[in-house]
Structure 1
Amino acid sequence: MGAFALLVALFSMVLPASAFAQEEEDKFSMTVTLNSDQFFGFYPFFSGSYAVNDKFDFTFYGILWSGGTGSAWGNWTEFGAGLKFNVTEGVTIAPQIGLLGGSLLSSGALGGGILGDGIVPNLTIALSREKTEGEFYLGYYTPLRDEAPEEGSTLAYLHYWANFGYKFGSLVSAGLHFEHLMLAGGSNIEESSDVYQWFGPYVQFADPKGRGWARFSSGTDFVEANDSFFKLTVGMNF
């Protein structure tokens, strides 16, 4: 009886702790993607969220731009945090702000990499329903300091995209993608200019269990002297 009572007591302590651990685990999610396009090159991305309640989540994210073109921008890296609001079924809105390290914004990629290269307030609106999917992103990359040499300039960028697609089943979806990157100004730049304006279709293959996906987008670039665009993303959910 003594051993049985001890076993019951141990289970009474372990089971609630296990249930709490499972509950905490269910509140946390994370996504990691590997991305490649002809402007930014290769760049891994991660985003995580923790459900505070059924109305909103705490979020954090990071982009390792240094994997591609960012290696020439002082090992350009972005890390940020914010909130994600569950607006209605299948629709979320996530305002966030990121801090950048590198040299692209503060010195126009002419200096060494520094922490505080810039900040990026950004907004993501996501749609995921039974038959439809989509996303809108808007971010403004602005320098935090002026490290530009006399012959150079600080740089600020406006970056946004929108896509919308139809799910043909649990495996395949397809739609259209538009993306625009604009040089918005700088310490020695008086007028904004387009870096690229991409538009074209995408196709996506997703794990029906929600563990991962692969998406390929391609099409035209409306900016004069540019030709086409291509973007490949492979993602995993945890």
Structure 2
Amino acid sequence: MRKLLFSLSAIAASLFLAPAQAQDSTEGAYDKVSIGLSLNHDAFFGFNPQLNGSIATSSTSAFTFYGIQWGAGTAAAWGNWTEFGVGYSFQAGKTITINPQVGFTMGNLLSSYTTGKYAIGDGIVPNLTVNHNSSKTEGQLYFGYYGALRKESPITANYVHYWFNFGGKIKPYLSAGAHFENLFRSGGEGQPTSTSQYYTWVGPYVQFTKGNAGLRFSFGGNLAGNDAKANFDGDFYKMNLFFNF
């Protein structure tokens, strides 16, 4: 735990406490910084807003950071879960951006399976996001592994969460496509060795955009019967309101 707190403190110090450079006080100091805010809501996680940011290090790469507030909806039972992470993105060709990151969770879902006290460094989240954007098509692949970093009770939990979507741009302001998403528990101490499926969502999406803002609505069915908690059964619906600055 002390090592984790030291690592997080070192990251904060390097980002925020380093001596200011002369150019930071000049006009255009923030030209390298991009911020995106996504207000997300779905049938499982409830309301989970996310902020993504990047600081360009070259014309094709950037230091990235993100934060997710999982504390609403179903996640309220997880100790007002919070996720913070950093990474590095780079372009692979003209239309592909690859962004590996590592995040840390605060709460009690992974370290005690919701039975223990809230914990800093509840879990670690290595994750990968691949974005595709061209004049005619768009898509995203996400994969994240949520592993317990602390042990606050005899039972801990690990999860795998991934999705893939791909669509076409019908108009400058309208696109549509398909979305596939899966979440399952993948072991943990005191847990059965077999995986436990929470959902497998598949269905269409439609997206409206204007400039740097937009709305995406995805919906469909759950192909995996839930063998963990029955109240997660049923159709899926997912809404994203996003703004990029």
Query: Which TM-score bucket, shorter chain as reference?
Result: 0.7 to 0.9
Counterpart CA distance in 2 for 1:154 and 1:63 is 21
**Contact 1:63–1:78 (Cα < 8 Å) also in 2:** yes
Q: Deviations over 1:77-123 (max 9, x none)?
A: 00000000111112100000001100000000112211010000000
CA shift, 1:26, in A, is 2.5
Counterpart CA distance in 2 for 1:219 and 1:201 is 7
**Contact 2:207–2:215 (Cα < 8 Å) also in 1:** yes
> Given the alignment, which residue of 203, 216, 228 partners 2:235?
228
In structure 2, the partner of 1:178 is 180
Letter in 2 for 1:78: E
**Contact 2:162–2:182 (Cα < 8 Å) also in 1:** yes
Q: 1:134 to 1:111 in 2, by over 3 A?
A: same
Counterpart CA distance in 1 for 2:43 and 2:51 is 20
> Given the alignment, which residue of 196, 199, 214 partners 1:196?
199
In structure 2, the partner of 1:10 is none
Q: Determine helix, strand or coil for the equivalent of 1:71.
A: helix
**Contact 2:197–2:225 (Cα < 8 Å) also in 1:** no
**Contact 2:178–2:202 (Cα < 8 Å) also in 1:** yes
Ranges in structure 2 where 5+ consecutive residues have no aligned partner: 1-22, 227-232
Question: Superposed, which structure 2 residues align to 1:146-165 within 5 Å?
Answer: 146-149=151-154, 153-165=155-167
Moved more, 91-100 or 64-73: 64-73
CA shift, 1:68, in A, is 2.5
> Given the alignment, which residue of 8, 15, 38 partners 1:33?
38
Q: Deviations over 1:186-214 (max 9, x none)?
A: 1012111211000000000001x2x2110
Letter in 2 for 1:200: G
Ranges in structure 1 where 5+ consecutive residues have no aligned partner: 1-16
The percent identity for this pair of structures is 47
Letter in 2 for 1:227: G
In structure 2, the partner of 1:212 is 213
Counterpart CA distance in 2 for 1:112 and 1:212 is 38
Q: Determine helix, strand or coil for the equivalent of 2:44.
A: coil
Counterpart CA distance in 1 for 2:27 and 2:139 is 33
TM-score after normalising by structure 2: 0.85
Aligned: 1:120 with 2:125: yes
TM-score after normalising by structure 1: 0.87
Counterpart CA distance in 1 for 2:166 and 2:202 is 12
**Contact 1:164–1:177 (Cα < 8 Å) also in 2:** yes
Counterpart CA distance in 2 for 1:55 and 1:236 is 22
Q: 1:18 to 1:81 in 2, by over 3 A?
A: closer
> Given the alignment, which residue of 48, 51, 54 partners 1:46?
51
Letter in 2 for 1:217: S
Aligned: 1:67 with 2:69: no
In structure 1, the partner of 2:244 is 237
CA shift, 1:19, in A, is 11
**Contact 1:44–1:67 (Cα < 8 Å) also in 2:** no
Counterpart CA distance in 2 for 1:114 and 1:18 is 36
Letter in 1 for 2:40: N
CA shift, 1:20, in A, is 5.4
Letter in 2 for 1:163: N
**Contact 1:99–1:120 (Cα < 8 Å) also in 2:** yes
> Given the alignment, which residue of 79, 90, 95 partners 1:85?
90
Q: Deviations over 1:54-85 (max 9, x none)?
A: 23100000000013322221110000000001
Q: Deviations over 1:32-55 (max 9, x none)?
A: 011111111111100000110023
**Contact 1:54–1:86 (Cα < 8 Å) also in 2:** no
Q: Deviations over 1:144-191 (max 9, x none)?
A: 111124xxx211000000000101111100000000001001101211
